[in-house]
Amino acid sequence: MSKPHYDREHHAKKATGIGDPQCFKGEAGKAKFKVGDRVRIRNLPDVFYTRCQVYTRGAVGTVTELVYESPAAEDEAWDNTDKPEWFYSVVFRQKELWPEYPDLYAEDTLESEFSERWLEPA
């Protein structure tokens, strides 16, 4: 019986000369959210690996940009690249993330990126 062949270079072959995340363009389908939408960061299980910061879980922010399409980091860490998602730049008021943040600086903000699975309408 022959050993099953796994192509360790499939990502390199796809991305060479195009770039990552550019090589996943057009693969995520229709985006669920648009610029200006209010979204809440979901608190999904994150056994083994995540790039969704715990301090953002449950916080409500505003989508400022649909940045690119890519497999979610939680999948890509295990080389599961067949279901790319839309990624969003989301801006939060600091006060929303840290309740003790001083009112004097109520305008201060923080932005970060999230794949679609982490967002729900708020």
Partner 1 sequence: MSEHKAAPMVDEVSDFEVLEMAVRELAIEKGLFSADDHRRWTEYIHTLGPLPAARLVAKAWLDPEYRKLAVKDGVKASLEVGVDWINDMPTHFGTPSDYCNLRVLEDTPKVKHVVVCTLCSCYPRPILGQSPEWYRTPNYRRRLVRWPRQVLAEFGLQLPADVEIRVADSNQKTRYIVMPVRPEGTEGWSEEQLAEIVTRDCLIGVAVPRPGVTANALRPIHPAVHPVQHDHGHDHG
Question: Which residues are near partner 1 by CB under 8 A?
Answer: 8, 11-12, 15-23, 51-53, 55, 67-68, 70, 73, 87, 89, 91, 94, 97-98, 104-105, 107-115
Nearer to partner 1, 54 or 122 (CB): 54
Q: Where are the beta strands (DSSP E) in the chain?
A: 38-41, 60-70, 85-93, 109-115, 119-121
Q: In angstroms, what is the minimal distance from the CB of 31 to partner 1?
A: 16
Closest CA to 31 of 109, 117, 100: 117
Whether the Cβ atoms of residue 69 and residue 27 lie closer than 8 Å to each other:
yes
Residue 21: cis peptide before it, omega within 30 degrees of 0? yes
Q: In angstroms, what is the minimal distance from the CB of 92 to partner 1?
A: 10
Q: In angstroms, what is the minimal distance from the CB of 38 to partner 1?
A: 18
